[in-house]
Structure 1
Amino acid sequence: MKFQPRIKGIMLVIIGAMLWGISGTVAQFLFQEKGFSTEWLVAIRLLVSGLILLLYAFIKGDQDIWKIWKSKHSRWSLIIFGIIGTLGVQYTYFASIKYGNAATATILQYLSPVIITCYLIIRNKKIPSLQEIIAIALAMFGTFLIITKGSIHTLSISKLALFWGIGSAFTAAFYTLKPRYLLANYNSTVVVGWGMLIGGIAFSFIHPPWNFTGQWSVTSIFAVMFVVLFGTLIAFCCYLESLKYIQPTEASVLSSVEPLSASFLSVLWLHVPLDMPQLLGTIFIIITIIILSFAKNKKA
């Protein structure tokens, strides 16, 4: 069956976003049901995915994968991106899942567009537009509903889950902003592949991948394979491929499927409770992403 290019792009970005969301729920299963450590899964995910992406780029021959190391500026930018950006966003996200759940962790990470918007407003010393003000207000209110269920006296998630979730949003913002120079000069597969491999190698000095805790079973093996291959490699490739057929703004909006898929699967499979205030908070944050995406597109 042949699809129109635009339909193909929409399907690819939705598949990629859904795989990201599902992989978060699968990681929650490994942490909370099988006793896997966050550190081990992060190290394995980064090392294996980084190696596969670089091997893919090398075989495809789009660009010399070693060229990026020849420039001193590129070299240091890549190292910082790999350690703070790639490793940072992976660890904080998985830690938030471990101490909370995949749905909440994914939604909190999606606050990163708001952080990016605030950073650019401050850096450029400009007055925020009405759309930006509305988006930031919606995001703050949505976050309030998610972490308190609408009550100012209690937290509906643990303090550690909240800490790592907010940390994930900040590292995701850094992950988005930092590699602009690298992506303008090198193939995105090469940049992300090296970022993952560098992050994995750096983290291996803190937690060697052979230091394993958890319960191996057929289910565990398939879960790890899903997180590494489908939740990282295939999801990334689907998202990149979609940009050939649709605009980045459309891809950004459609990737909102990720928190929805994480929330749906967490409730259905792992029986994570999702009350009405938290559902409304999720919707507000997704609306925020849509508003900021179209505001950015209008400026462009």
Structure 2
Amino acid sequence: MSHLSAVLLVLLAGTMWAASGTAAQHFYTQSAHVPIELTQVRLFISSALFFLLSWWSGGLRRGIRFLRRDPRLLVQLAIHGILGIMIVQYSYFMGIAEGDAAATTVIGYTSPAMMILYLAVRWRRLPSTAEAGTVIVAVAGVFLLVTGGDIGRLSVPMSCIVWSLISGATFTFAMLYPVHLLRLFDRFFLLAVCMLIGGISLLPMTQAIADVGSFFTTGTWLDLLVIIGFGTIVAFFAFNLGLRWLSPEETAITATIEPVASVIFAWLIFDTHFVMMQIVGIVLVIAAILTPNVLRKWGYT
């Protein structure tokens, strides 16, 4: 595969993730179903489709074999399935329901800054100049986005901010925790099992999957196609395929298309308008994602 093709695949993944957030926002206007129900349905259906992809890739047999040899791995899969997948998706959908897809996506993309702070505490070291700059710029960007530059008011609901930050924090966990599991399991198998566990964990709170037909109405079927088909299956497949041919730095840089695309979709579809200071805030958050990866790629860190 050419380098350009790999870049285009990662760009496609980021755009599809942004589209799924926008589709979720539209879904709430057309349906009485709440975020926890949408989360469960997405997890169960996506899990089934990822099991098919795992079977196709040959990872299903290997994964089952590893679990038979060491059933204790199921505990680690459950931790990732609940904390690293279910809560990430539920908090993301809650953020969208409380605010909008663009704000939730941009705020959630402060996760690289959260990761820097976490690693600094874990390894008991001060962040480098570039890392400290990333955190400061990300915090400044979110501040401008949620206040519009007016400290006396919030242009984004506080509940949206909180859920978006939870989504970003748990996404950081999802990036760090399963590293050792990816050495054992095929990515599709890992996603299939963890999404299944995540969906099962919600059964005490909702059995929406039992009434899955009520989700697919005239006004919502296209939203669900985007959320589950494009925003989950196509996005993860394209991202994982492109990841094989790009460096981590190139992948991180290219994936920043998601907050950009989310803002564009909000403007095109929902006629969302941002004041100048909010636009500056969005640019700062994107810069906070890009800068350390660009510096690392060119050997400055």
TM-score higher than 0.5: yes
Q: Tell me which of 67, 70, 76 is aligned to 1:69.
A: 67
Q: Give the equivalent residue in structure 1 for 2:169.
A: 170
Question: CA offsets, 1:217-265, max 9 Å, x none?
Answer: 4231121122111010100000000012211211111111101111111
* Alpha-carbon separation, structure 2, partners of 1:74 and 1:5: 36
Q: Which consecutive residues of structure 2, in runs of 5 or more, have no partner in the other structure?
A: none
* Alpha-carbon separation, structure 2, partners of 1:214 and 1:289: 39
TM-score with structure 2 setting the length: 0.93
* Distance 1:52-1:285 versus aligned 2 partners, 3 A rule: same
**Aligned residues of 2:59 and 2:185 also touching (Cα < 8 A):** no
User: What RMSD, in angstroms, separates the aligned Cα atoms of the two structures?
Assistant: 2.0
Q: CA deviation at 1:274?
A: 1.7
Question: CA offsets, 1:128-178, max 9 Å, x none?
Answer: 111011111100100100111111111111111111011111111111111
* Alpha-carbon separation, structure 2, partners of 1:67 and 1:270: 48
Using the TM superposition, name which of 92-101 and 75-84 deviates more.
Answer: 75-84
**Aligned residues of 2:215 and 2:221 also touching (Cα < 8 A):** no
* Alpha-carbon separation, structure 1, partners of 2:215 and 2:95: 21
Q: Give the equivalent residue in structure 1 for 2:150.
A: 151
Q: CA deviation at 1:214?
A: 7.5
Q: CA deviation at 1:181?
A: 0.9
Moved over 6 A (4+): 212-215
* Distance 1:57-1:214 versus aligned 2 partners, 3 A rule: closer
**Aligned residues of 1:36 and 1:214 also touching (Cα < 8 A):** no
* Alpha-carbon separation, structure 2, partners of 1:288 and 1:252: 12
* Structure 2 residue 127 is the aligned partner of structure 1 residue 125: no
Q: Give the equivalent residue in structure 1 for 2:239.
A: 239
* Distance 1:187-1:212 versus aligned 2 partners, 3 A rule: closer
Question: CA offsets, 1:79-119, max 9 Å, x none?
Answer: 00001110010000000000000000101111111111111
Question: CA offsets, 1:174-206, max 9 Å, x none?
Answer: 111110110122211111221111101111231
* Alpha-carbon separation, structure 2, partners of 1:155 and 1:213: 38
* Structure 2 residue 57 is the aligned partner of structure 1 residue 60: yes
**Aligned residues of 1:37 and 1:214 also touching (Cα < 8 A):** no
Matched pairs, number: 297
* Structure 2 residue 283 is the aligned partner of structure 1 residue 283: yes
Q: Give the equivalent residue in structure 2 for 1:227.
A: 227
Question: CA offsets, 1:57-97, max 9 Å, x none?
Answer: 11331452313423244221110000111001000000000
* Alpha-carbon separation, structure 1, partners of 2:300 and 2:202: 39
TM-score with structure 1 setting the length: 0.93
Q: Give the equivalent residue in structure 2 for 1:199.
A: 198
* Alpha-carbon separation, structure 1, partners of 2:101 and 2:32: 16
* Alpha-carbon separation, structure 1, partners of 2:123 and 2:147: 33
Q: Give the equivalent residue in structure 1 for 2:141.
A: 142
* Structure 2 residue 32 is the aligned partner of structure 1 residue 43: no
Using the TM superposition, name which of 199-208 and 225-234 deviates more.
Answer: 199-208
